[in-house]
Structure 1
Amino acid sequence: MNGRAVRSGRAVKTIFSTTVSLFVGFLLLAAGTAGLSSPAYGGPSYFSVDREFYPYYPSLIKWDRSGAGFTAPEVCSGCHPKQYEEWTGSVHALAFQDPVYQGELNLAFKAVGHDISRQCEGCHSPAGVVTGEIKGPGVEGLSPMALAGVSCDICHSISGVTHGQTPTGEPENGSFILSPGKDTPQGPKLVKRGPYAPSDGCGMGFHECLESPLHLKADLCASCHQVYHYEKHFPIEATYSEWKKGPYAQKGIYCQDCHMVEIETFIRSADAFKKPERKEYRHYFNGANYLLYYLAEAAAIKAGDKELATNLKTKFDMAVKRLQMAADLELYPVYRAGSLAEIKVRVRNIRAGHNLPTSLTNIREMW
C-alpha cells in the first residue's frame, strides 16, 4: 500500500470532518427554520420501477456480484503511479468527502431518510452503497474504498449501462452496472475494462483486461451527470442532456475530450472540434469546482503534506483556468446626456460543451 496515499487520505479527512460539522450545522439550522418535514417514502407512483432490477433504488446502480471484491486505489498505484497521481485530489477522488456534498447529504437524510438519500450516495461512493457500508452522511469509520469516492476500480469495473430501462428511459441516478470481477473454476478473477484493446501482459496476472467501447463515450459519464427527482423524475441536474442537444455532441466531442486532458488540449478540442490523441488523455477529471480543490489543499497544508498540497494547488489552478477559458465577458457602456449612465454585461459560453453554469444550478454562481 502506498504510504503517502494513506497519509494524504487522513489529511483531507481531518479538515473535511471539521468543515462538514460546521457546514452541516448551518444546514440543519436552515432546515429547522424552513420547517422541513420527513415524508415517508412510497407516495404517488409517477413512474413504474422494477425494484428487483434496481435493488438500490432510488440509486439505479446494479452490481454484478461475484467473489471478486473491489480494489482500493492505492493498490492500483503500484502499476499505474502516473494515473494514480492524476486521480489523487480530483473531484472523483473527493466525491464522497466533499464537505458541500456531505452537508447537502445530511440535509437530505434529515428530510427524507436514508432510503432516499441513497440516490446521492450511489454516485458519490458506489462501492460504499452496494456493499451496504454507507448508511447515511459522515465519513467516520468508513473503509478506504468507501472514502475513495469514484475511484479507479469504479470506472474500470463498469461493464454496461441501463439507460433505456430507467423509469424515464434516460440516463439517470447512477444507471450503470458494476462488474469488478467474475467467478471461475480457479476462484474469483478481477476484470478491468478500458477504452483500448489490451496490450500484451496487461494486468500482469493481477486482473484480466477487456476493451470497452463504452469508456470512449459520453454514456459512461451520463449515469451520474444526469440527476432526476427520486419520485417524480423531473431533471435536477441535466448536464448530459445539455451536452446531447448541443454542437459538441453533434461533432463527436465527448466528456472525456474536455475533462480528461490538459487545458491547451481542452481549448483545441472546444475550438476546432478535434478529438485528443490517445497520449493526451489524463485522469484529472477537472471541471470548474475550484472550491473543492481549495478546501482539500487547506487540509493537506494543515496536515503537513506538502506533496499533496502542491498536487491540489495545480488542480485548483487548472479549474480556475478552465472556467476562465469557458466564458467570454463583454461590456457595453451606455451614455445618456453625454455621461456614462450604465454598463451592460454579457457573459457568453464559448467553450463549455453544456450549459454554463451547469450541474446543480441552484448552488452554482458565476461572477
Structure 2
Amino acid sequence: MARSPEELGVTHGAGARRSLSALPPLLLLAGLLIGLFTPDEVRPLAFLATGMVSAAALLPLWGTVLAGVGGCAIYLGLMVHFEALTDGTAYSELATLAAIAGFAVFLNRLMDRRARQLVQVRSVAETAQLAVLHPVPRHVGHVTLECLYLAAAAEARIGGDLYEAVRTPQGVRLIIGDVRGKGLLAIEAAATLLSAFREAAHDTPDLPHLARRLETSIGRRAAQYPTVPGSEVAERFITALLAEIPEDEPVVRTLTCGHPPPLLLRQGEVRELRASAPSPPLNLGMLVSEEYHVDLAPFHPGDQLLLYTDGVTETRDRTGTFYPLAERVRAWSGESPHHLLNHLHRDLIAYSGGELDDDVAALVARRRPKL
C-alpha cells in the first residue's frame, strides 16, 4: 500500500494555484483603474508589467498571451483616452510593455518545460523506490501484514525508508529502517540492507546474529567508497528495527538499532515497546563493543505490532507540534491492518496540511489465530 498524498485527492498546491490564477487579470484591471482615475504622475506601467509576468507563472500559454496582449491594449487605450499619441515617452513605455509580454511568453514556455522534466524525474524516482521496496504479501505464515509508504512532496527527494517481511524457520522476521540522507545514495544503501536481510533472515539463528550480518554488509559497502568526494557514504548510517514473531510462542522479539520503538496494539490499548538496551544504528556498530540485546513482549492472536519510521512521529502541524502517534492510533487499534494504515495515512495528510516534509513508512503485523 505504497501511496502518495495525491491518491487521497490532496490538492492543496493545485487549489492555491487556481486561487492565484485570478491575480494577473486583477493586476491588469488595477493598472487600468490607476491609469484612468489617478494623477498623471502615478503610472500604471508597474501593475501592467507585473500582471504579464505573473501570468507566465500562474496561467497556461494562452492565458499568458492574453495577459500580454491585454496589458499592451490597456496602455494603448489609455494613450488614446488621454490624447497621448504624440508622446514619445508613452511610446517608449508601450514598447517596454511589449518586450515584457514577449519575455513572459518565453518564461511560461521555460517553466512548462521544467515542470514536465520534474514530472519525469519524479516518475523515475518513484520507480527506483518501488524497485527497492518489493510489495510485501498480505499474509506471511501466521501473520497478516500491511505496509504504507508516503514520499515527501518536496520535488524528487527520494529517501531511504525501507521495510520487509520474511518467513523463516524461526518465525516471521520483520525489518523497518531509515537511511540517513536522501537521493540515490540512500536508495543504494537501502537496497544493500534489504538484500542482506532477505538472505540472512533465513540462515541466522536469532536476531543478534542477524543484526551482525546486516552490520557487516553495510560496513563492507561503506568501505568500498572511502574517498568519494561529497558522497558521505562512509558516514551514512541506517536506523533499523528487527522483529521476530515465532509461530509456536505467543511472543514478539525485537532488536533496536537506533530506531523509534514499535507500538503494541491490544484491545484498545497502545503500548510502546522501548528497548531496554538499544544498539547504535547500522554502520555505527563499530563504535561500541556490547552485544545486541533482544526484548521480549507478549504477542497473542489479534494483537498488532506497528513499526514506523521517524517521518511519522516528526510530522508537524502548522504550529510545529509533532504528530502524537500513540495517542492518535489508539482509536484505530481494533481495526484490521489495512484499515488502520488507511486511517494513519489520512490523518498524517490532514495533520500536516498536505505537506509532508519527510518520507513516511509504516508496517503493521497482526498475529492470526491458529486454525
| TM-score, shorter chain, exceeding 0.5 | no
Q: What TM-score, normalized to structure 1?
A: 0.28
Q: What TM-score, normalized to structure 2?
A: 0.28
Larger radius of gyration: 2
